Amino acid sequence: MVYIVYKTDAWHSYDSRDMLGVATTKSNALKIVRQQVKKQGEKLSKDDLYNLDHINQTQNHNGEGEFVIEPLETNKLY
């Protein structure tokens, strides 16, 4: 399993996805999001962290854009 981290528009549309990184654990995926947010001079709220952990995306992030973590099983035919 790998986790692909994207920055998206407010509607999480596929066309707006900008890949930020690939992580081997969800914890590392959250670190990638934190790094991007820090780079933008912003902070993640407790709600952002909760949503990323439970539904793999932010909802109404107060900063620039939204974030999505997409789990992807490796070595599998899609």
Domain segments of the chain: what residues?
A: 2-72
CA angle at residue 67 from 63 to 15, to 5 degrees?
110
Q: Is residue 17 a contact partner of residue 8, using CB atoms and an 8 Å limit?
A: yes
Strands 18-23, 66-72: pairing kind? unpaired
* Length in residues, the chain: 78
- Positive or negative CA dihedral for 48, 45, 15, 35? negative
Would you state the structure tokens that stand for residue 31, as one six-digit string? 């670190």
The predicted pLDDT at position 11 comes to: 96
Q: In this predicted model, what pLDDT tens digit does every residue of 34-78 receive, in sequence order?
A: 999 999 999 999 999 999 999 999 999 999 999 999 999 999 998
Spatial separation of the C-alpha atoms in residues 27 and 43, rounded to whole Å = 17
